Amino acid sequence: MAVHWQNMSHINRNEGQKFYVTTPIFYPNAKLHMGHAYSATISDIFARYSRLLGKDTYFLTGSDENTEKAVRAAAGAGQQVFPYLDGIIGGFKNLYKRLDISYDQFIRTTDKDNHWPGVEAFWKRMVDSGDIEKRSYEGLYCVGHESFITEKDLVDGKCPDHRETPQRIKEENYFFILSRYADKIRDIIASDAIRIVPTSRKNEILALLKDGLEDVSFSRPADKMTLGIPVPGDNTQKIYVWGDALTNYLTALGFGRKDHALYDRFWPADLHVIGKDILRFHAAIWPGMLLSAGLPLPKNILVHGLITSGGLKMSKTLGNVIDPVRLIDEYGADAVRYFVARHISPFEDGDMTMDSFKEAYNAGLANGIGNLVSRILKLTSDHRVSSDLPSKEDVFADETVQSYAQSFDEFDIQKACNHIWTRIASMDREIQETQPFKLVKSADAASAARGKAILSKLYRELWIVAVLLEPIIPATAATIQGLIRSNKMPSAPLFARK
Ligand SMILES: [Zn+2]
């Protein structure tokens, strides 16, 4: 292409007419935490933005269930494993519903009908490429990680994350000869064929790739895995997490199944949203697997950080855990969405405390958009002033909206939010400075007309804000749009001051 991509950002937005976004598939932990809420919310914001642009959008989430951890947790709860898993997944779906997460499908790796055929088909492709090899393997296995770890990861002979001494295990495994693809993967990432955002994460993975990649254990003896998918043609082995979990992004679309219309329509993924702890799997192993299977590569990987509280990792012992469900109960889904979108950087670790949350809520929602909506609609309804409302398409054609759209192109949700709240602040300022509430009551006809003209402009501006808010706080955006259309002020504040 002759034109540099930066000059084409506006065209690009309209060019790709489909958008496939995924969250990581989560471990079925009993306790849902802010990390789940965060990953799901930012993925949802991208899905909703894409729909707002009129793109054919698919949003996938799910759970990574074939783990011994789940088996042990079920036993600990005195339950059979499948009812236990169903209960946990019910909790996930409930959280998503409460948070307005508009996913199209929830894929479970225990789903034999929808997930397993694709995993098997994928495995066979890798075998056909000559990239799967049986080897005897001896290594250090951390039960907490459910994976082998290397000697150099240990601190005082123990896994630093789980503070357990790893077991020395010798067993037969199928290996994926990932080392073969190290150079190719490096080129793919260096050239942004898979674009890793932010650049600091791209550089991190490039540094890791400089030394090449080790082959990875791709199966485990079947008697050591209660759950999981048998290796095609060898029942004594089960497919290990990489082949089982990463493939969800394909299997959910029908890859390897008779009905693969979704696969044809949506693969490759336009965006994998992941946490930084699973960067290596998504930026090294996953592209290697796809190269081996001869399938198209995902286009973008957004790597977000962790949410800490008071500068520390949330933990029960520290007593600084923030429960997303309690926050939703107290403040509503849109308040939680607003906070993580505007006050947590999508690219770095972010911090939240109950105090910082409340402060942000009062400043940005109660005194910010909530107050502005009441103020403008009180005046426009009292004085029967309105304006033509631009279509959503026209909103995006507006020159002033370009920086918002540009922020989304860069996956910078925080910057997109700042764009909206800058508009809100400047509307507040305009009301303060021009005092249309006085002008409209003026006996002087010219002044009254000027007051009405200002109100009409604010009414239209408010509509634009309500459109731009759709991906971020969808329920509130819909409410505001409804109020604007009927030119009515809200009967109660949109966000009560706390
Ligand atoms: Zn560990």
* pLDDT by residue, tens only, the chain of 498 residues: 333 333 334 434 445 799 999 999 999 877 788 999 999 999 999 999 999 999 999 999 999 999 988 898 899 999 999 999 999 999 999 999 999 999 999 999 999 999 999 999 999 999 999 999 999 988 898 888 877 888 888 999 999 888 889 999 899 999 999 999 999 999 999 999 999 999 999 999 999 999 999 999 999 999 989 999 999 999 999 999 999 999 999 999 999 999 999 999 999 999 999 999 999 999 999 999 999 999 999 999 999 999 999 998 888 888 888 999 999 999 999 999 999 999 999 999 999 999 999 999 999 999 999 999 999 999 999 999 999 999 999 999 999 999 999 999 999 999 999 999 999 999 999 999 999 999 999 999 999 999 999 999 999 999 999 999 999 999 999 999 999 999 999 999 999 999
CA distance 449 to 452: 5
Beta bridge partners, 28, equal: none
Residue 28 burial (10 A CB sphere; 0-12, 13-18, 19+) = buried
CA distance 450 to 456: 10
* CA dihedral (199, 412, 422, 461) positive or negative: positive
> How far is the centre of ligand 1, averaged over its atoms, from the C-alpha of 151 (Å)?
12
The helix-helix angle for 286-293 and 182-190 (nearest 10°) equals 110
Residue 220 burial (10 A CB sphere; 0-12, 13-18, 19+) = buried
* CA dihedral (152, 155, 157, 163) positive or negative: negative
CA distance 266 to 55: 11
> How far is the centre of ligand 1, averaged over its atoms, from the C-alpha of 295 (Å)?
32
Give CA torsion, residues 183, 4, 16, 262, to 10 deg.
-10
Residue 51 belongs to what H/E stretch?
helix 34-52
Give, as one character, the DSSP assignment of residue 296: P
Domain boundaries, the chain: 5-304, 353-486
Q: How many CB atoms lie within 10 A of CB 135?
A: 12
> How far is the centre of ligand 1, averaged over its atoms, from the C-alpha of 379 (Å)?
61
CA distance 473 to 494: 12
> How far is the centre of ligand 1, averaged over its atoms, from the C-alpha of 277 (Å)?
13
> How far is the centre of ligand 1, averaged over its atoms, from the C-alpha of 158 (Å)?
8
DSSP string computed for 336-393: HHHHHHHHS-TTS-EE--HHHHHHHIIIIIIIIIIHHHHHHHHHHHHTT---PPPPHH
> How far is the centre of ligand 1, averaged over its atoms, from the C-alpha of 90 (Å)?
28
The count of residues in the chain is 498
What pLDDT was estimated at residue 191?
Answer: 98
CA distance 474 to 471: 6
Beta bridge partners, 136, equal: 172
What pLDDT was estimated at residue 12?
Answer: 44
What pLDDT was estimated at residue 6?
Answer: 39
> How far is the centre of ligand 1, averaged over its atoms, from the C-alpha of 176 (Å)?
22
Residue 3 burial (10 A CB sphere; 0-12, 13-18, 19+) = exposed
Q: If you search the block for the tokens 């990861």, which residue do you land on?
A: 153
What pLDDT was estimated at residue 8?
Answer: 38
> How far is the centre of ligand 1, averaged over its atoms, from the C-alpha of 179 (Å)?
24
pTM of the full structure:
0.93
> How far is the centre of ligand 1, averaged over its atoms, from the C-alpha of 167 (Å)?
11
What pLDDT was estimated at residue 15?
Answer: 52
> How far is the centre of ligand 1, averaged over its atoms, from the C-alpha of 162 (Å)?
4
Query: Around ion ligand 1, which residues have CB less than 5 A away?
Result: 142, 144-145, 159, 161-162
The answer to whether the bond into 83 is cis (omega within 30° of 0) is no
β-strand pairing of 132-142 with 147-149: antiparallel
Beta bridge partners, 307, equal: 350
> How far is the centre of ligand 1, averaged over its atoms, from the C-alpha of 323 (Å)?
25
Cβ neighbours for 459, distance < 8 A, ≥ 6 positions apart: 376, 380, 385, 386, 387, 484, 487
> How far is the centre of ligand 1, averaged over its atoms, from the C-alpha of 36 (Å)?
21
CA distance 37 to 23: 11
> How far is the centre of ligand 1, averaged over its atoms, from the C-alpha of 155 (Å)?
11
> How far is the centre of ligand 1, averaged over its atoms, from the C-alpha of 163 (Å)?
7
Question: Domain 353-486, what fold?
Answer: Isoleucyl-tRNA Synthetase; Domain 1 (1.10.730)
> How far is the centre of ligand 1, averaged over its atoms, from the C-alpha of 488 (Å)?
57
> How far is the centre of ligand 1, averaged over its atoms, from the C-alpha of 139 (Å)?
13
> How far is the centre of ligand 1, averaged over its atoms, from the C-alpha of 211 (Å)?
23
> How far is the centre of ligand 1, averaged over its atoms, from the C-alpha of 165 (Å)?
9
CA distance 295 to 313: 38
Give CA torsion, residues 275, 276, 281, 283, to 10 deg.
100
> How far is the centre of ligand 1, averaged over its atoms, from the C-alpha of 173 (Å)?
20
CA distance 409 to 345: 15
> How far is the centre of ligand 1, averaged over its atoms, from the C-alpha of 91 (Å)?
26
Contact by Cβ (8 Å): 401, 469: no
The answer to whether the bond into 268 is cis (omega within 30° of 0) is yes
> How far is the centre of ligand 1, averaged over its atoms, from the C-alpha of 317 (Å)?
19
How many Å separate Cα 71 from the centre of its chain?
Answer: 27
> How far is the centre of ligand 1, averaged over its atoms, from the C-alpha of 140 (Å)?
10
DSSP string computed for 74-119: HHHTT--HHHHHHHHHHHHHHHHHHTT---SEEEETT-TTTTHHHH
> How far is the centre of ligand 1, averaged over its atoms, from the C-alpha of 164 (Å)?
7
CB hemisphere CA count around 18 (13 angstroms)? 13
Under CATH, to which class is 5-304 assigned?
A: alpha beta
Q: If you search the block for the tokens 């089982």, which residue do you land on?
A: 244
β-strand pairing of 271-275 with 300-304: parallel
